[in-house]
Amino acid sequence: MVDENLGTERLEGKMIEEKRTLNIFDRYLSVWVALCMILGTAIGYLFPKVASTLGGFEIANVSIPVAAVLLAMMYPIMLKISLKEVMKVKRNANPLWLTLVVNWAIKPFTMALIAWFFMRVLYSWIIPVNLQSEYIAGMILLGIAPCTAMVLVWTYLARSNIDYALVQVSVNDLVILVLFAPLGKFLLGVTTDFPVPFATIFFSVLFYVAIPLTLAGVTRHLAIRLKGLEWFERFIKKIAWVTPVGLLITLVLIFIFQGDKVIHYPLHIVLIAIPLIIQTYLIFYIGYFGAIKLRIPYTEAAPSAFIGASNFFELSVAIALILFGMNSGATLATVVGVLVEVPVMLSLVEIMKRNKKKFEFKNNK
């Protein structure tokens, strides 16, 4: 009973902290993204020299200011990953298996198919051919990057198991290291006419996932060993602001270069959003009905459904910047993914909460 009470208190503490974060930033993420779009577009349009100056700071087509901000943004996310907790998942593996199948055997391919169909067929008379390929590429990059940090927010809102969601996020970050590059190379090669070098994607994932993951792992180990777990958890909370602020700065920088497209093709943002929204609901319901079929309890079913529906948009934006550049349609498509994610995911949270009783199985202990 004591252990159960301690576990309950710990979960409630995490929920309180997530709620604070949500109130400050996550609840209105779509608003902040829209404001960053407006600010960045205005700067790029009114002060074109700013874009040319920033564009000069790059190495091997990698923008140094954006790379620095993105790396800083990834670091707090990676600090939450505990390999010890990942190893404990064997005790309750079904939700994790469901997540892995949906994220890596289904989601990338449905996103590629939906993106291709909308751009090449439905929108073929509206969007120029060159932009069709770029938008498809951006959507595919979203499709092969399952969610990380934000899934903890959706899990909190659904009143489900944050600890298990964190394990799922940790495992998916490790899988990204192995599967992101080959899947990206294959799907981009099949659906677009861009020559995408495997090495570029691989080293991008290495740079934006493996390096911060390794640094975070070393930091976590040393901090807990020298200062203790409680101090480390307080440290994570203190630097949590780095991720949202880094994301907003990145978006402003992107739209300084995207101003021309936003001004001349405002309809394209809406057109990109439609297939992304359809994909999100599709993947959610695959996870939703899969959890029912596997008799997964609500507390683990919710994060299993959310993690595939949501996206690791920080990584998608970073890879789009490296592969296609700051002012590309691919980068714009990944940013539209950020714009639509919050309102759509909030609706999915409500769907899960309204149907909680469907995940109550008599044989579950």
Encode pLDDT of 16-60 as tens digits.
Answer: 454 444 455 666 666 777 788 788 888 877 777 776 666 566 655
Q: What pLDDT band is residue 112 in, cutting at 50, 70 and 90?
A: very high
> Distance between CA atoms of 164 and 304, rounded to whole angstroms?
9
Which residue's entry shows tokens 């951006």?
Answer: 138
Arithmetic mean of pLDDT, 71-96: 70
> Distance between CA atoms of 11 and 354, rounded to whole angstroms?
21
pLDDT given at position 72 = 75
Average pLDDT of the chain is 77
Structure tokens at 335: 């940013």
Structure tokens at 206: 């290495």
> Distance between CA atoms of 177 and 184, rounded to whole angstroms?
12
pLDDT given at position 177 = 78
Residue 62's SS3 state is strand
Give the rounded percent of residues in the chain with a pLDDT score beyond 70: 72
pLDDT given at position 15 = 47
DSSP conformation letters of 164-213: HHHHHHHHHHHHHHHHHHHHHHHHHHHHS-----HHHHHHHHIIIIIHHH
What are the tens digits of pLDDT across the range 168-219?
Answer: 777 777 788 788 888 888 888 877 766 666 666 676 667 766 777 788 888 8
Please give the residue that has the higher pLDDT: either 103 or 253. 103
Arithmetic mean of pLDDT, 265-275: 88
50-59, 86-95, 123-132: least confident range: 50-59
Q: Where are the domains of the chain?
A: 2-359
* CATH number belonging to the domain at 2-359, selected among 2.40.10.220, 3.40.190.10, 1.20.1530.20, 2.60.120.260: 1.20.1530.20
| Residue 59 host element (H or E) | strand 58-59
Q: To the nearest 10°, the Cα dihedral for 332, 336, 339, 341?
A: -140
Please give the residue that has the higher pLDDT: either 245 or 124. 124
Residue type, 81: I
| pLDDT of 65 higher than 80 | no
pLDDT given at position 18 = 47
pLDDT given at position 174 = 79
Within 228-327, residue ranges assigned H as helices are 229-238, 242-264, 266-293, 298-309, 313-324
340 within 8 A of 309, measured Cβ to Cβ: no
pLDDT given at position 204 = 66
Please provide residue 45's backbone torsions phi and psi, each rounded to the nearest 5 degrees.
-80, -40
Burial class of residue 42 (count of CB atoms within 10 Å of its CB; 0-12, 13-18, 19+)? middle
> Distance between CA atoms of 19 and 72, rounded to whole angstroms?
23
Could you tell me which of 70, 29, 324, 83 has the C-alpha nearest to residue 211?
A: 70
pLDDT given at position 184 = 83
Structure tokens at 340: 């639509």
Structure tokens at 93: 């593996």
> Distance between CA atoms of 26 and 241, rounded to whole angstroms?
11
Q: What number of helices (H) and strands (E) belong to the chain? A: 18, 2
